[in-house]
Structure formats: structure tokens, C-alpha cells
């Protein structure tokens, strides 16, 4: 994260920079670390604060921004999930900073929102899309969803849909408490260049997917598309690859969906995001699950906190042994026993390997190929036991 930020900052003038932090109540450990790293790097480089906060009122981030006098603070409401926050300040602020017309994005989303409220199935694009997913996957997620956008500017669309769909629909229980293990696996890349990574298997390998082609009708602004041969432009080749790939899959009995937009504009992007958000909600209704919570994510965060708590216990045990004269190196078994966590010996090994590789105060002697031969101690004793 820090390396990526530094590479970006090296290319930019600090007069034009603004940093923004956002997401839920700033409680996610990963985001906390990333945002703190960003802020420290920003301050160490330019010694100024041009931060903008997007968070819930009175959260840690909100209070930090208020006390330190950040440029602005925007609200984030507890009913807005991260994966559906594109049309909130979380997504709109970064878009605006890039010069994207966010009013047009919102207008496109509003038009799609209205279109997807009709009870007429054949006239409701989100309902049609959700029904296609249900039919293609037998309503139980039996097939993966492969997203193939044929436009460079939509390169990251498959990754966006990966979170939107999988975090929303990957659920163990339905609304009645039955174990159902629902979900749709999503992956993809832009056509036509990057699809070669897996198109061979899609056509001839295991039939465990359905494809979605994102087609953009307008290639380039008039007069800006080059002819590769008389009467054939670069856009024509891309069109040919999309239709050819679609036909090749169909000829081998592979299902596909086509979503077509006129051109990539803020309005059309807002509309297609709203389309998929609504389709996810409708599909969840079809399979009787809650698309708007994420207990699996919460479990992962809880487990991460437990790992960090175990790391503190390991350091405290090592500190106590390292403060002896002479120093008492400990084996993994001894560390696990003194931590009262013999069942966590593998995790303790992982913790020690990580800290040793990052030049922390920890010193590990022995062979990585024989973990039980490893003996560990701290390079310095902390008499106050800051790790306790």
C-alpha cells in the first residue's frame, strides 16, 4: 500500500493533492491501517493536511478530521453498505476529483432505478437479468458468472461486480434459517486481449459457467478511430471479437448474456451500476436470502483480531524469557504452552515467521524446513513488557 502511494505521489504536484478516507465507521482493521499509512506518508512528504473524511458522525475518523481541521467531512449512513456505496459520497467524491460528472452518474442511476421498479417482468431489465442468473445457475449457484466487458475503460468492472455479487449473495442461511450455502462466483477480464487467459477453457473445458458480455456500441468519437484496412476500424475488430467469441461459445452449448450500452459515459456507468445493484437484490429475493448483510466478513475480521491478540501474547512470553540472564530461547512448543494455546502452534509459527522476515526485534534460529527445531528470542528486553 505505502509503495503504491509513494509511486503515485512522486508523479503528482502536491498543490493538486487531496487525501480522503472513508468506509463504514472506520472500524475495519485493514482500512484503518491503509488510511493511517496514507495519512502518514502524505504528511511526511508535504507536511500539510488536505484530507476529506467520509464516515459516520462521531466516528474515530470523523473526530480526527474535525480536530485536525480537514478540508471537509461528508456523512456515511449505517444503512449504506460498502459494496453499494458507489452512488454515495464514498464513490462520488473520488469520481468528482477525477473530473467525472457525478450529476450525470446520478441521473443515469435514477433512470435505471425507475426502470427497474416496474412489475412487468419483460420491461424490467434488472428482473430479466436476475431471472437469467437464476435459470443459468439452477437457482443454487451451480455455475460461475464470467464478466467480459469489451472496453478498456470498463477494465475493473468485473472486479466491482465480484464484490457486489459475491458478498451479497454468498450466504450460508436463507431467511428462514435453513442452511442453503447460496452464492454466485464472479470473475472476468476485459475483451478481447485479456480474455485469452481463460477463453480456451470456457469453450472446451468444464461447463461450469455462464458468460456476460458487456457491449459498447460506440467505439471512439467520430474521426478518432483508425482504419486497419480499408473499411475496417479498430472498433470493428473489437466488435468482431465480441460477436465471434459469443458465437463460438454458443456453438459449443455455452450460455451467455449480453448487456449493451450506447457508449461509456458517466450517465451510462451510473445506469449499469444501478442495474446490477437492483438485479442482486431481486436475485436474493428469488432464492430467499438477505443480500445486505455480510456475516462471513464479520467472522474474518473477528479472526484477524484474534490473531493480533495471539501475537501480543507471543511477544509477551518471548519478552519474559528474553529478560532472563542468560536469555532463554524458546521452541514453538514452549511458546504455545506458555501462551496456553497448544492448538495454535501453527499460527504461532506463522506469526514468528512474519515478524522475523520483517526485521522486528524477534530473532529466530533454526531451519524453516523443520519448524520444531526453531528457537526464538527477542533481540532486546523490555522491562516494562509493553506487549502485555
Catalytic residues: 167, 196, 301
List of E strands, 165-207: 186-188
Measured distance CA(230)–CA(235) in Å, rounded = 13
Distances (CA, A) of 5 to 42, 98, 322: 9, 17, 37
By DSSP bridging, strand 375-378 and strand 362-365 are antiparallel
Q: How far is CA 199 from the centre of its chain?
A: 24
- 167: cis peptide before it, omega within 30°? no
Measured distance CA(314)–CA(330) in Å, rounded = 11
Distances (CA, A) of 334 to 32, 257, 330, 331, 349: 33, 58, 6, 5, 12
By DSSP bridging, strand 227-229 and strand 330-331 are unpaired
List of E strands, the chain: 19-22, 51-55, 72-75, 144-149, 186-188, 209-216, 227-229, 232-233, 256-261, 330-331, 362-365, 375-378
- Residue length, the chain? 388
Question: Phi-psi bin for 305: left (phi > 0), alpha (psi -120 to 50), beta?
Answer: alpha
Distances (CA, A) of 90 to 53, 77, 86, 179: 9, 11, 6, 34
Amino acid at each position: 500500500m505505502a509503495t503504491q502511494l509513494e509511486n503515485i505521489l512522486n508523479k503528482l504536484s502536491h498543490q493538486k493533492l487531496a487525501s480522503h478516507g472513508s468506509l463504514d465507521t472506520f472500524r475495519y482493521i485493514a482500512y484503518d491501517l491503509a488510511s493511517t499509512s496514507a495519512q502518514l506518508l502524505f504528511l511526511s512528504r508535504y507536511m500539510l493536511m488536505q484530507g476529506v473524511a467520509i464516515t459516520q458522525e462521531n466516528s474515530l475518523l470523523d473526530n480526527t478530521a474535525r480536530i485536525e481541521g480537514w478540508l471537509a467531512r461528508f456523512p456515511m449512513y449505517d444503512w449504506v453498505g460498502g459494496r453499494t456505496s458507489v452512488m454515495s459520497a464514498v464513490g462520488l467524491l473520488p469520481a468528482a476529483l477525477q473530473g467525472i460528472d457525478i450529476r450525470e452518474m446520478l441521473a443515469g442511476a435514477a433512470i435505471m432505478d425507475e426502470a427497474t421498479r416496474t412489475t412487468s417482468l419483460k420491461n424490467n431489465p434488472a428482473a430479466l437479468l436476475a431471472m437469467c442468473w437464476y435459470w443459468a445457475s439452477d437457482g443454487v449457484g451451480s455455475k460461475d458468472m464470467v464478466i467480459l466487458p469489451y472496453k478498456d475503460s470498463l477494465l475493473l468492472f468485473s472486479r466491482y461486480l465480484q464484490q457486489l455479487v459475491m458478498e451479497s449473495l454468498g450466504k450460508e442461511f436463507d431467511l428462514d434459517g435453513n442452511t442453503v450455502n447460496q452464492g454466485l462466483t464472479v470473475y472476468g477480464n476485459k475483451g478481447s486481449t485479456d480474455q485469452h487467459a481463460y477463453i480456451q477453457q470456457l469453450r472446451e473445458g468444464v461447463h461450469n459457467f455462464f458468460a456476460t458480455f458487456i457491449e459498447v456500441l460506440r467505439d471512439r468519437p467520430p474521426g478518432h478511430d483508425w482504419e486497419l484496412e480499408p473499411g475496417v476500424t479498430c472498433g470493428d475488430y473489437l466488435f468482431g471479437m465480441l460477436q465471434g467469441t459469443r458465437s463460438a461459445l454458443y456453438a459449443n452449448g455455452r450460455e451467455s448474456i449480453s448487456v449493451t450500452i450506447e457508449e461509456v459515459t458517466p450517465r451510462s456507468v451510473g445506469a449499469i451500476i444501478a442495474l446490477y445493484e437492483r438485479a442482486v437484490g431481486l436475485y436474493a429475493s428469488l432464492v430467499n436470502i438477505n443480500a445486505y448483510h455480510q456475516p462471513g466478513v464479520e467472522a474474518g475480521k473477528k479472526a484477524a483480531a484474534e490473531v493480533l491478540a495471539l501475537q501480543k501474547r507471543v511477544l509477551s512470553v518471548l519478552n519474559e524469557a528474553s529478560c532472563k540472564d542468560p536469555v532463554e530461547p524458546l521452541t514453538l512448543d514452549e511458546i504455545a504452552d506458555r501462551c496456553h494455546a497448544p492448538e495454535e502452534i501453527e499460527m504461532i509459527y506463522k506469526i514468528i515467521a512474519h515478524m522475523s522476515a520483517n526485521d522486528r526485534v524477534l530473532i529466530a534460529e533454526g531451519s524453516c524446513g523443520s519448524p520444531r527445531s526453531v528457537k526464538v528470542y527477542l533481540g532486546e528486553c523490555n522491562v516494562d513488557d509493553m506487549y502485555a
